[in-house]
Structures are given as C-alpha cells and as structure tokens.
Amino acid sequence: MKPVNVGLLGLGTVGGGTVNVLKRNAEEIARRAGRGIVITHAAARDISKARICDTTGITLTTDPREVVDNQDIDVVVELIGGDGLAKEMVVRAIENGKHVVTANKALIARHGNQIFAQAQKKGVMVAFEAAVAGGIPIIKAIREGLAANRIEWLAGIINGTGNFILTEMRDKGRDFADVLAEAQKLGYAEADPTYDVEGIDAAHKLTILAAIAFGIPLQFDKVYTEGITRITREDVAYAEQLGYRIKHLGVARRTAAGIELRVHPTLIPARRLIANVDGVMNSVLVKGDAVGPTLYYGAGAGAEPTASAVVADLVDVVRTLTSDPNNRVPHLAFQPDALHDIPILPMAQVETAYYLRLQAQDKPGVLADVTRILGDLDISIEAVIQKEPSEQDSSVAVIMLTRRVREEKMNQAIAHIEALAAISAPVMRMRMESLK
C-alpha cells in the first residue's frame, strides 16, 4: 500500500526527534499503522543549520506554505509553536483537506474550539497528544482508556521547569532565583521563563485536559493561574516539617456548582506518589468514578519523548484515513454536539485547605489576634509552628495549616491579618490538596 506522505513544519528539537523516531522505527511503525509513514517535505527558518536528525530524502524549504499547499502531502505536522504563524498554517492545512498533528498546547488551548469545528466541517482529524505532558499518553488515556468513567477530578505536575526548580529548592536548600538561573543554563527554562514559572504553560495544558475529562469547551481564559516566584526555601522546608511537599499543580475538579480550573503552588502529603515526582518529570493523577485514582508518569518534554507522542498521533491518523469522519474518536472525547457548557467556578468560590506563613512581632497577644480573625470567619486551624526570632530583628515566622474553607473567606482573613500592626510583611498563602 502507498505510504502516507507527511509534511513537517519546524525542524527544531521536537521536529528533529520526530524525523529520527520515524526513520529508526519505520518498520515497526508501518506494522502498527498498516502502511508506511514518510516525511517527504519539511519547513524550517534556516535550512542550512546543523540538525539533530538526518534530513536526507526530505525536501526542505523556508516557506511553510509550500508544505501546507503541496497536493502530495497527506498529513501536516505542526511543530512551530505559538499561535500566530502556527494557527495560520493549521487552518490553511485543514482548508486544504489535510489532517493535522500538533504539539502546540497554546494553539489548542486558545483556538482549539475554532480549529476542531473547522476540522469537523472538512472531515479531517486534528491530533494533539504531544501538546500535554510530552511522552505521557495522557490525552489518549482520558479520552479512550477511561471512556467508561465519569471523571471526578484530575491533578497534574505538567511543567517540568517548575518541578525541577521546586525539587532543587527542597533537596539542596537553594533559593528560587539561583535554581532558575541553573534551569536556564541547562536549557530547561527559556531566557524569558514567564510561561513556565508563572503557570501559563501549565494552564494551557490544564485547559486541554479539563475539556477532555469533563466534555466542556476549551476555556483557557477562565483558568486561575498563579506562579512559584514567591516561594522561598523556608516555605519548602516548613512544608517538609509538616509532612508535605510543594508542587506546582494544575487541578481540575467537577463540583455540584461547576468546574474548578486552577494552577498554583500546592502542598501535597509527602506520602502521595505524585508528591515524589522530581526533577523535570511530569505526572498526572486522574480520578474516575469506576476505576478510582490512576497515575501517569513520564518525561514531559525532550526531543524523543515528545516525538513519541507526535508519531503515535500520526499512526492514529493513518489508521483512520479511510474511516467515516462521523465515527472517529472525537477531538475532545465527547461528540461535538454533546459538549456541556458547565460553568467554571471563580477562584473565590473554590474550597481548599491552606498553608499560611506570617511574619509577626515577637510579643504577647499577636497569635491570639490572628486566631481570633480566623475563628470569626469559621476557619479552623489544623497545625501551628512558631519559629525562633532571628538575630537581625525581633519578628518570628508563624506557619499555620487550616482546614478546608472557601477562598473568599480566606481572602478576607488575610486582609484582616495583614492590617494588624504586629504583622510586618504580606502573608504567604499556598493551597493544600490531600488528593485522596
């Protein structure tokens, strides 16, 4: 049978890895797909640049339109990134009747509703397994493997850069800025690390996971997003003393009132498996009503781990090239006309437990004032640690763990606590999840 011709947009790290995996495992992939898969054309900004892959036999161009408009190309693989040129090329490929595979989480999170509607209309597939958690097949697991379940919640470490930083801070007692500089030197973080450390990258991925888990439209603009830049090595150490670890977590939960969508630093009991996922690795915990909790772990980035997901999508596309478009696996797991417009809860309505760190003057009555404020708002205290005053000043660090309470109540409590004359710095607040 005639091989399927693939056009590749982008020959960077993932593009090069995709070429290598397809060439190295060509026979095995053909056995799985039922026919060969061959990259015949590729676009890159600089075609003379040294690559991690052998491009022999591939026609190279600097103009991606030449690939997208080529009549001999059956599937376009978009690995450009961003949602500018990438969106233009994906839309153009769909209009040309070509199937699309992409690793672009920003594109899917921000424009996926439009792209999937267009693909449905044209009868083509858009596959995006590599957009979330690199080589972990988490999208396929939720969309197909857990199709019998009503997904109750999911929580994931879905950004390797942030996880590397928090791991180093915990294991070596280092400061955030110091570890970030090393992450940049090692290539884990970009020169501008905002997307990683402020949670935007994780929010893109959480948007996609939540849509597939709950059968809702993609709604990136409604994800509550908070970064890790305010976390100190002292916070990491205090959490350890209390039996917790800090992870930058993406959480999506179905409640009676609506869907929670949030990315923020989170204290997790140290005994949980996901709390022990270290370095640049990713992990996603999914709770279904029938199967219970299931955990997925693996490399969240890198040339060949991500290429593994890209090529798996190519195999899926090739397997279904001749199938009825109306009977393919839906892009967002649920049939397009069966998506529910369930409300997304504002963060103020989310209920969780909290870690609070206060810097207070070391004098009688201060702790009583704080506990009175919490008590007046029906916020119960789970644990308290008071550190010794430092030699430099007379203030002390007070760490509190609370029981579950609505965020709006905690916001009020923090405002009242910070207004006390004896509190000398803004309150550090992190949320806590037991993930039972």
The residues assigned a catalytic role are: 205
Q: What is the CA radius of gyration of the chain?
A: 24
Q: Give CA torsion, residues 176, 181, 182, 183, to 10 deg.
A: 80
Residue count of the chain: 436
Cα 334 from Cα 148, distance rounded (Å): 12
CA pair distance 347, 350, nearest whole angstrom: 5
Residue 423 β-bridge partners: 360
Distance of CA 74 to the CA centre of its chain: 30
Q: Is 336 helix (H, G, I), strand (E, B) or coil?
A: helix
Q: Are 276 and 157 in contact (CB under 8 A)?
A: no
Sign of dihedral through CA atoms 55, 57, 62, 67?
A: negative
Is the Cα dihedral 304, 310, 316, 321 positive or negative? negative
Structure tokens at 63: 């103009």
- Tell me how far apart the 2 most distant CA atoms of the chain are, in Å: 83
* Three-state secondary structure call for residue 43: strand
A 10 A CB-CB count for 245 gives: 22
